């Protein structure tokens, strides 16, 4: 019987992998090969592949809604926003859970007040309607 893998734990792994791809400029296959334990983790695979394949679209939406260029954001915050936006656009998870998870990730891995910025941007995106961005 296959074990159920927690979406919360999977989000941590997706963020770590996105960070690795972003900062190390690693390719998708390289990033995935660095996480052999996640090969049967559907949530991880779908989210990591989805974010990386949608990067251009996600970044365009974020750029329009940020007070500064995406490239100037802390890489952790940039990738939390990317993965959260991907999840919001794909309607897989309730908005409140996406925001809660983004805040949790930011508090765990990001700068001391980064979670406030993450919360404000995601809240703005949701209130203004993702389909209009």
pLDDT tens readout for residues 25-67: 777 778 888 788 888 889 998 999 999 999 999 999 999 999 9
14: containing domain: 7-132
At 73, list the tokens.
């954001």
Task: Give the separation between CA 14 and CA 50, rounded to whole angstroms.
Answer: 11
Residue 33 within a domain: yes
Domain CATH code at residue 35: 1.10.940.10
* Residues in contact with 109: Cβ distance below 8 Å, sequence separation at least 6, in sequence order: 15, 76, 80
Structural domain count of the chain: 1
Is residue 104 predicted with pLDDT exceeding 90? yes
- Which helix (DSSP H) or strand (DSSP E) does residue 86 occupy? helix 75-89
Asked whether the beta carbons of 122 and 88 are under 8 A apart, the reply is: yes
Residue 57 within a domain: yes
Q: Quick one: pLDDT at residue 133? A: 53
pTM for the whole thing? 0.90
Q: Quick one: pLDDT at residue 96? A: 95
Residue 1 within a domain: no
Task: Give the separation between CA 35 and CA 131, rounded to whole angstroms.
Answer: 33
Residue 2 within a domain: no
Residue 42 within a domain: yes
Which of 124 and 30 is assigned the larger pLDDT? 124
Residue 103 within a domain: yes
């Amino acid at each position: 019987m296959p074990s159920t893998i927690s979406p919360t734990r999977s989000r941590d792994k997706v963020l770590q992998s996105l960070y690795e791809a972003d900062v190390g400029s690693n390719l998708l296959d390289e990033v995935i090969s660095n996480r052999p334990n996640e090969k049967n983790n559907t949530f991880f695979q779908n989210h990591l592949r989805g974010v990386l394949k949608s990067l251009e679209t996600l970044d365009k939406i974020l750029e329009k809604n940020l007070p500064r260029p995406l490239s100037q954001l802390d890489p952790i915050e940039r990738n939390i926003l990317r993965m959260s936006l991907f999840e919001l656009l794909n309607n897989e998870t309730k908005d409140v859970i996406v925001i809660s998870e983004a805040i949790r990730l930011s508090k765990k891995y990001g700068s001391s007040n980064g979670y406030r910025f993450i919360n404000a941007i995601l809240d703005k995106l949701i209130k203004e309607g993702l389909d209009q961005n």
